[in-house]
Structure 1
């Protein structure tokens, strides 16, 4: 488990699913980063738990303040093209906890898990409006892979970023 001052990262528990669902919908849909039509998928935490490793960030009081789905491989990774790649999806931080390194801690844990799984690269996609996420990824050494940008549905353009980890 990675620790930063007052932030602990570890596996999500089934009891965390409702909080993760509410936080993910709040950040993406209520925050104007995704349409309401995506809310059901964002709220399907149990479905994510079947195909990814759910990680959470907790504050000093044990409150869940962030979450991410680490994807070591498979279809849920969407932009993964080889067995050497891992990814993560649906990174969220409670708006009240922003600026405390929570997002960076969750990404670092994904990088650690990818390395431990023998992956050489982490590849992710992000919405064009997620500019705070873009800054975080670039600060953490991710670079753009514009040749892999994609449009899952009309009107939703996603940018692809990657970071070598070997």
Structure 2
């Protein structure tokens, strides 16, 4: 059982990499039986490569009781996040919260920290992509004020990857 200690959000350090990878696989492992075997293998490879490093602008972790229970990667643009141009403001990817730490507000705090960083860099918006497969994540994003950005949707095989954006100037998430 986790206590009610506050969540600490901080920059990832190289010594955090294995813990972050474990959180990513724990969080996204719930989709293993939902995706085709081939797509799951591709997804796992993508997670592995992202956890190992890459062109992120920031890599944040969430600690609860001194244990890493969440992470998010912030990219400068769609070019650095996905290798295609179009979105020239920060994008968050691979937001993950370990299954045992869900319901404590970890994802909200990771998104809030990402939005604050993005605003500090002078960005007007923060983007993310998700799919209907991740229903609870979609509900969270919408509750936090993200709006659909249909112009940046991506078709990945049979899956529609939906784009969302948060207007940083007006975001209630950043007023607290």
TM score, norm. by length of structure 2: 0.81
Residue ranges of structure 1 left out of the alignment (5+ in a row): none
Unaligned stretches of 5+ residues in structure 2:
170-176
Per-residue CA deviations over 1:8-63 (Å, capped at 9, x if unaligned) read 000011111112112212222x2116612211120221233x43311000012x10
Could you say what secondary structure the match of 2:53 adopts?
A: helix
Output aligned runs, 1:149-160, within 5 Å: 149-152=153-156, 154-160=157-163
**How far apart, in 2, do the equivalents of 1:147 and 1:82 lie?**
10
How has the CA–CA distance of structure 1 residues 74 and 82 changed in structure 2, closer, same or farther, with 3 Å as cutoff? Answer: closer
Residue of structure 1 equivalent to 2:56: 51
Please give the per-residue CA displacement for 1:89-144, whole angstroms capped at 9, x wherever unaligned: 00000110100000000000000000000000111101221111111111110011
In the alignment of these two chains, the number of paired residues is: 158
Q: What does residue 31 of structure 1 align with?
A: 30
Q: 1:80 to 1:91 in 2, by over 3 A?
A: farther
Candidates 164, 167, 171, aligned match of 1:164: 167
Residues 80 and 123, structure 1, Cα contact 8 Å, conserved in 2:
no
Find runs of 4+ consecutive structure 1 residues off by over 4 angstroms.
none
- Corresponding residue of 1:11: 11
How far residue 151 of structure 1 moved from its aligned partner, in angstroms, is 1.6
Q: Structure 1 pair 64/5, CA: closer, same or farther in 2 (3 Å)?
A: same
Please report the TM-score for the alignment, with normalisation by the length of structure 1.
0.86
Q: Which has the higher strand share?
A: 1
Cα distance in 2 for residues equivalent to 1:6 and 1:25: 24
Distance 1:87 1:130, change over 3 A: same
Structure 2 CA distance for partners of 1:130 and 1:80, relative to 1, 3 Å: farther
Larger-gyration structure (1/2): 2
Deviation at 1:75, TM superposition (A): 1.6
